[in-house]
Amino acid sequence: MPELRKDPIVDRWVIIADNRGKRPQDYALAPQRSSGRLCPFCEGNESETPGEVAAVRDPSSPRNGPGWKVRVVPNKYPAVLPDQGDPVGDGGVAWCDAQPGRGIHEVIIESPRHVTSLTQLSLEEICLVLRIYRQRFRELALRGDVSSTMLFKNMGAAAGASLEHIHSQLIALPTIPTLLAAELNGAAAYHEKWEACIFCDMRSWEQRLPRQVLLTERYTAWCPFASRFAYETWILPNRHASHWESISDEEIVDLASVLKRVLSAVEQAVRPPAYNVVFHSAPLTSPALPHYHWHIEVLPALARAAGFEWGSGYHINPVYPEQAARELRETLQNPHQNEVKAIRQTEAKGERLPMP
C-alpha cells in the first residue's frame, strides 16, 4: 500500500509505492516494451487496462471498446490510491513522518494508433488531448479530496517511459508537492516586492533575449536562464493565468500548434528523442492567483542526474541555454496556419464528436 514518507533531516518526500510492481526490475531503464508484443494501449485491447474514467469516442461506440480518440484510465500500477488507511510508518519515532499514499493516478492514452510522439498526431488530435487534460483538471477540482495535479508525459525509455504507445499521466494529491510549493512561495515573494508576476516579467524580458525559441500571439517559448537540462524549454501563455484549466478552446488550438513545433525542434536536438513534459499549474483548490502563471516545461533526457546531482542538489547542464535556443530556432517548423484555420472552421460549424 502506498505511503508518503519524509526524510528526517531535509524537506524531502518520497512516495513508497510497492504496488507499482512486485519486482522493481520491471521498471529498469532499458526494457521499452516492443510494439510487436501486445500493447495494452492500442485500440482493440481496451480490456488490458482498467475501465475508462473519460474518453473522446464515437457516441455509438461501447464504453471500454474500440471507437475512441483519447482514453483516460486509472493507472494499473498506481503510485497513490483514493482510499488509503493510516500509514505503517514507524509508530512513535519522532523523526519518522509518514502519511497515507492517498490520491488519484490516471493514464491518458492519446491515440488509438501505436504512435510514440505528440509530433506524430495531427493538430486536431492534439487539440483533443489538450481538451481532455483540461477536463480532467476541472473534474478533479470538483472532488474536494485533492489539492494539486501533476500532469506529465515521459517520452522515450531514457526519460522513464515503460510503454512506448503515446500517453501521459496525472497524479492528483491532497498535498502541494515540494517544488510547486517552492514555486508558489518564490513567485509570491517577487509579487510582494515588485507588484508583478515574475513569469509575466520573465516572459516580456525573454522576448528580447537570445534564449527565446518562439513567440506567437498567445504563447512564448524560451530556454530558461538556469536550464537544468540541455535544450530545456518552457512554454508560457502571454495572457496571465494561474490555472491551466482556465484555458479557452481558442487558446487550445494555438497551444497545440506551439507544442507540436517546440517538441519537433526538441526531437531534432535530442536523438533518440527522450524528454519529459510537465504542466505546472496553481493548486486546484486555490482561487486565481495574481503571482502564479501556469506553464509547460519540456525537459530533455540527454544526461540525467547522477552521483553529483543526487549528492549536491545542483544540476550540471552541458549546453548554454542561449546556444540551445539558437539550435531549436533553426529547426523550428512554420506555424500550422492552414490546419489551425481548418479546425476553427469545423468548430464554427459544430461538426464534431462530443467534445470534452
Burial of 230 (0-12, 13-18, 19+ CB in 10 A): buried
Compute the least distance from the CB of residue 340 to a copy of itself, in Å: 27
Residue 225 DSSP SS3: coil
Catalytic pick among 105, 165, 167, 240:
167
**One residue of 36, 85, 142, 306 binding a copy of itself per CB under 8 A:** 306
**One residue of 72, 180, 214, 258 binding a copy of itself per CB under 8 A:** 180
Instruction: Pick between residue 85 and residue 307 the one whose CB is nearest to a copy of itself.
Output: 307
Residue 178 touching a copy of itself (CB under 8 A): yes
What is the CB neighbour count within 10 angstroms for residue 113? 13
Closest among 97, 136, 103 to 5, alpha carbons compared: 97
Of residues 99-128, which lie at the interface with a copy of itself (CB under 8 A)? Answer: none
Instruction: Pick between residue 263 and residue 343 the one whose CB is nearest to a copy of itself.
Output: 263
167 is catalytic: yes
Q: Read off the amino acid at residue 180.
A: L
Of residues 8-37, which lie at the interface with a copy of itself (CB under 8 A)? Answer: 8-18, 20-21, 24-25, 27-30
Per CB under 8 A, the segment of 92-100, 127-135, 244-252, 342-350 that binds a copy of itself is: 92-100
Looking at beta carbons, which pairs linking 92-98 to residues 24 or more positions away fall under 8 Å?
Answer: 95/8, 96/5, 96/8, 97/5, 97/6, 97/8, 98/3, 98/4, 98/5, 98/6
Instruction: Pick between residue 43 and residue 327 the one whose CB is nearest to a copy of itself.
Output: 327
Spatial separation of the C-alpha atoms in residues 85 and 148, rounded to whole Å: 20
Compute the least distance from the CB of residue 46 to a copy of itself, in Å: 25
What is the CB neighbour count within 10 angstroms for residue 131? 18
Closest among 183, 187, 180, 271 to 231, alpha carbons compared: 271
Residue 7 touching a copy of itself (CB under 8 A): yes
- Quote the cell numbers at residue 236: 508560457
Of residues 48-87, which lie at the interface with a copy of itself (CB under 8 A)? Answer: 79
**One residue of 316, 331, 333, 355 binding a copy of itself per CB under 8 A:** 316
Of residues 185-244, which lie at the interface with a copy of itself (CB under 8 A)? Answer: 186-187, 190, 198, 201-202, 205, 209, 224-228, 230-231
DSSP structure string for 7-44: -SSSS-EEEE-GGG-SSGGGG-SS-PPPTTSPPTTSTT
Compute the least distance from the CB of residue 116 to a copy of itself, in Å: 15
**One residue of 64, 317, 332, 340 binding a copy of itself per CB under 8 A:** 317
Of residues 243-262, which lie at the interface with a copy of itself (CB under 8 A)? Answer: none
Report the catalytic residues: 167
